[in-house]
Structure 1
Amino acid sequence: MEVIDPQAIRDSLLARDVTLNPPATEDVIAELNSWAGGRLHPHVAQMLREFDGFSDWDYEGKSFVSVWPVEKALSDDWTRQPLLAFSDWSINAMIFGFDPSSNGPIISIEDASVVAPTYAEFWLRLLSDSLFQTK
């Protein structure tokens, strides 16, 4: 199984002066788990216990990536089971989504192109400024 280190991801974002939202409460994680049919992938819950998203992180100069808090993700118009819209690039220019009961892939909702093959790889690519490069 692929490994994810939510604390290292949090620390890396904080080192870049990203303002993180507080961790999700267990009630919020339970709500997402229920939405996902009781099969929330462990990586998703682990990340949410570190922080529940962040807004408009300038990681490529003129580009902005946000990872939404669960409340916004569940209420967003792009969210339709099993696909959870959870992030955007450049203030909604591209919306990212995935099935939170799986480990990916992460896709661009508008055209279904794969942004990252797994949830963990999404975070690695985000932190290495290679989110839009295929490997």
Structure 2
Amino acid sequence: MGRFFTAECGTYYTNVADLKTVGNAHYCILDGGMNHLTYLGQMMGMKTPIIKHHKNTSKQDERPEKNTWCLCGSLCTTSDILCREVELNHLEIGDTLIFENVGAYSVTEGIYLFLSRTLPRVYLKDENGYLTLVRDAMETSDINI
């Protein structure tokens, strides 16, 4: 019952760190990855949760450029794929992707200590929409010896 009740909880924010195109394939490298995000049904990026795209640059581009992107994390493993095919309009380095409905267990199921990566910040949102920081970002290299 826990997964049923919490499936629509949780939001994960990550920024676009790099973009690569190889032939007709477009890859978006994010500053987070499978070590931060585990959502119900994720298996090598085969499932796609609700993803919002937030532009962090003031640069306006008139071209309605839409591409299908493979969203990859920044870990040095081929398993670090969050979504294999996501259509996004004019994606740029520095933009934020917001994964919604990732489940309340996403934070506790992530493999945070994998490769000594930084733990992400965790916020709680109250019924008025106000955010409270409950855990700041934390380096894991000191505890992952």
Larger RCO, structure (CA 8 Å, separation 6 or more): 2
Instruction: Select the structure of larger CA radius of gyration.
Output: 2
- Structure with a larger share of its residues in helix: 1
- Structure with a larger share of its residues in strand: 2
TM range (shorter): under 0.3
